[in-house]
Amino acid sequence: MALECLHKEGIIYRDLKPENVILDGEGHLKLTDFGLSKMFKTEENLTYSFCGTPEYLAPEICRGSGHNFMVDWWSFGILIYEMLSGINPFKLRNKTNY
């Protein structure tokens, strides 16, 4: 719901990962660290910034072909996979090779 709310407000989060999801005192999930977020006007087609955590980057960010709100859903899928399996499917051995 947090990503949906951000997207409705025109914000791409771009750094969804376990370290940026916390629990409050009532057990609700909260997103933190909006340092890589970007206001994204709906009339814009794509943005081209290369940013994010390598293991959670969507392919279009890696390719530099431009991206939009969909990159957050890619990272969400990686996060869910990691929560269910205990491993990241794209864990890099050498972070310079992405």
Q: How confident is the model at residue 79, as a pLDDT? A: 94
Residue 41 is assigned to a structural domain of this protein: yes
Residue 74 is assigned to a structural domain of this protein: yes
Residue 43 is assigned to a structural domain of this protein: yes
Residue 90 is assigned to a structural domain of this protein: no
15 is catalytic: yes
pTM of the model: 0.84
Domain hosting residue 9, numbered range: 2-85
**Checking phi first, is residue 90 left (phi over 0); if not, alpha (psi -120 to 50) or beta?**
alpha
Q: How confident is the model at residue 14, as a pLDDT? A: 94
Helices (H), 2-69: 2-8, 59-63
Residue 96 is assigned to a structural domain of this protein: no
What is the rounded CA–CA span in Å between residue 48 and residue 67?
6
Tell me if 20 sits within 8 A of 32, measured CB to CB. Answer: yes
**Residues 15, 24, 33, 72: which is the catalytic one?**
15
Taking all residues of the chain, what is their mean pLDDT, rounded to a whole number?
89
Residue 98 is assigned to a structural domain of this protein: no
Tell me if 61 sits within 8 A of 98, measured CB to CB. Answer: no
| CATH number of the domain bearing residue 38 | 1.10.510.10
